[in-house]
Amino acid sequence: MQKKIKKPAKVPVHHAPPPNQVRIIGGQWKRSVLPVLQALGLRPTPDRVRETVFNWINHLRDGDWANAQVLDLFAGSGALGFEAASRGAASVTMVDTHTPVIRQLEENKTKLRADNVQLLRGDALLTAQGLAARGQRFDLIFLDPPYQQDFLAKVLPLCANLLKEGGMVYAESGLPLVFDEASALEKPEWMAPWEVIRADKAGTVYYHLLTYNKVPATA
């Protein structure tokens, strides 16, 4: 009599939402699916990357989001900002230059009843300058700009005046940022005061968690 061969148990597969949706990973709105506007250049941070990044941040903050002031300068889909709000950030300010995108974010904010989220329509660089001039400071800043434009070189220096002491910047890019002085690539001047806390790569996405080191004044 022939023995029956046992089939291997099925391993549950994590399916990503469609490209026009994002899913919140953790917090009070965990598993909530939000529509994303179909717009040119709108590129939500992948679930896998977002989960890794928020695990990093959660560890570094000892799981405490209660007093966190968060700025998302290139909000787009809102995936990063709504994730922070879901986890209990005291306030999340999302910025985007496109009116239709802001309208979609407003609808998602209403759907979630996200009272801790503020939406601003405007240019990211000008808005950053304005917030700094008004004395606003943040514990965490998200930077996920269009890859094809040199936005990080322009906006990262502005973040130095927006961060609270010990604050962090999350920066996403299509190329790795150069931090190591021993690297074959020359470290750009605008990266000089920044230190990488964590960094990784997923597909074509390079993502980094940074902290700012104040340059001591010369005598």
pLDDT digits (tens, 9 = 90+) for 123-175: 999 999 999 999 999 999 999 998 767 889 899 999 999 999 999 999 998 88
Q: What's the pLDDT score for residue 3?
A: 52
Q: What's the pLDDT score for residue 13?
A: 44
Where do the structural domains in the chain lie, given as residue ranges? 39-212
Q: Please tell me the distance from the alpha carbon of residue 197 to that of residue 98, in angstroms, as a whole number.
A: 32
Q: SS3 breakdown of the chain: % helix, strand, coil, rounded to 5?
A: 25, 25, 50
Dihedral, 139, 145, 147, 150 alpha carbons, nearest 10 = -90
- Rg (C-alpha) for the chain, rounded Å, is 19
Interval 109-128: pLDDT, tens: 999 999 999 999 999 999 99
For the domain with range 39-212, which CATH number is right: 3.10.290.10, 3.40.50.300, 3.30.360.10, 3.40.50.150?
Answer: 3.40.50.150
Contact 36, 42 (CB under 8 A): yes
Flag whether pLDDT at 6 surpasses 60.
no
